[in-house]
């Protein structure tokens, strides 16, 4: 079996199912587990991700206004690989190559691949996607085992929760966006009361005043697509504003954990749960702005 994954979360799912050796190619953003970066990348972004948050937002708006795809797809290489399964997404045209692009490319390549489009908007959808990918790849039993283990870990987090602080999650800083989709339920699983959009709803634009009006006890800053170093740099100009929002503020590697609807969403919930209970955060996952440090547990 030959599998192409065009979504970072899908790559993590495929590998969690024990199918790393069947992966033939990836998207340019697939970076976990270590080693997948050696696979050929079939996509490329039109937006320069090295720009500031505000400049990235401006570029995204311009590309969308021109009705151009946010990503390009290497159709020639895709055809040459002749995969049996292509895993992509149909949830967000800004986040990854679009489903329509993939379908059109597969049709032009006359590829007979099975196309699996993930459309997660809720926490349960992520666990269901594990099973869907497993079914498409012919390993349904593995999918049940992996999904059940993720569910067990989520349940265990809730069993350790007593107090439930009010938590706002900022998904973008300039302009401000509050995190929607599966994030509110992840916060609830971590023992918090999510503020902002309802579970499953898209991430809305907001303002600093609107976030402050929510009266959060804690704020998690996890810009979509940014690792922890990038999150720290982008947050630096807003540090005073962030600290004014709530008594506690956590900078989180959202790209690896909270923004990626794959198996590590459970690690995001576990990390946030420990932090909300007053524990330290592993230094490769987050930084507590209250102290400016994050000792490793």
Last-in-domain residue among 89, 119, 149: 119
Residue 93 is predicted with a pLDDT of 64
Encoded tokens for 196? 């902002």
Encoded tokens for 83? 């995969």
164 class by beta-carbon count within 10 Å (0-12 exposed, 13-18 middle, 19+ buried): middle
Q: Is residue 133 part of a domain?
A: no
Q: Does pLDDT of 268 surpass 80?
A: yes
- One domain, residues 12 and 112: yes
- One domain, residues 9 and 115: yes
The average pLDDT across 119-144 equals: 96
Average pLDDT, the chain: 90
What pLDDT, in 10s, does the model give residues 155-164?
999 766 667 9
The percent of the chain in helix, strand and coil, each rounded to the nearest 5, is 40, 15, 40
CATH number at residue 49: 3.40.50.1980
- One domain, residues 172 and 278: yes
Q: Is residue 96 part of a domain?
A: yes
The average pLDDT across 88-98 equals: 74
Q: Does pLDDT of 69 surpass 80?
A: no
| Domain count within the chain | 2
278 class by beta-carbon count within 10 Å (0-12 exposed, 13-18 middle, 19+ buried): exposed
Residue 28 is predicted with a pLDDT of 93
Last-in-domain residue among 94, 119, 144: 119
Q: Is residue 32 part of a domain?
A: yes
Q: Which domain holds residue 33?
A: 3-119
The three-class DSSP label of residue 49 is coil
Q: How confident is the model at residue 296 (pLDDT cuts 50, 70, 90)?
A: very low
The average pLDDT across 80-93 equals: 86
- One domain, residues 113 and 200: no
Last-in-domain residue among 98, 119, 140: 119
Tell me if 196 sits within 8 A of 226, measured CB to CB: no
Q: Is residue 132 part of a domain?
A: no
What CA–CA distance (Å, rounded) separates 170 from 176? 7
Q: How confident is the model at residue 292 (pLDDT cuts 50, 70, 90)?
A: very low
- One domain, residues 20 and 73: yes
């Amino acid at each position: 079996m030959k599998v192409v994954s065009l979504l970072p979360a899908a790559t993590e799912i495929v590998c969690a199912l024990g199918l790393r050796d069947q992966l033939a190619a990836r998207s340019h953003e697939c970076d976990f587990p270590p080693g997948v970066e050696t696979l050929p990348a079939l996509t490329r972004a039109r937006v320069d991700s090295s720009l500031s948050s505000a400049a990235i937002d401006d570029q995204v708006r311009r590309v969308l206004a021109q009705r151009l795809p946010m990503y390009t797809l290497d159709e020639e290489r895709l055809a040459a690989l002749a995969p049996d399964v292509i895993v992509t997404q149909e949830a967000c045209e800004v986040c990854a190559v679009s489903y329509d692009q993939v379908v059109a490319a597969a049709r032009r390549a006359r590829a007979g691949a099975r196309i699996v489009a993930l459309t997660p908007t809720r926490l349960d959808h992520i666990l269901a996607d594990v099973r869907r990918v497993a079914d498409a790849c012919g390993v349904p039993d593995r999918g049940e085992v992996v999904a059940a283990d993720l569910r067990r870990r989520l349940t265990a987090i809730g069993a350790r929760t007593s107090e439930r602080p009010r938590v706002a999650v900022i998904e973008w800083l300039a302009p401000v966006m509050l995190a929607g989709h599966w994030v509110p339920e992840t916060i609830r699983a971590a023992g918090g009361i999510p503020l902002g959009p309802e579970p499953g709803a898209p991430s809305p634009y907001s303002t600093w005043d609107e976030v402050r009006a929510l009266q959060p006890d804690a704020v998690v800053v996890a810009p979509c697509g940014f690792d922890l170093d990038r999150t720290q740099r982008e947050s630096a100009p807003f540090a005073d504003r962030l600290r004014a929002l709530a008594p506690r503020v956590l900078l989180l590697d959202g790209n690896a954990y909270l923004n990626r609807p794959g198996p590590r969403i459970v690690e995001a919930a576990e990390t946030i749960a420990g932090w909300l209970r007053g524990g330290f955060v592993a230094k490769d996952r987050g930084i507590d702005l209250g102290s400016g440090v994050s000792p490793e547990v």
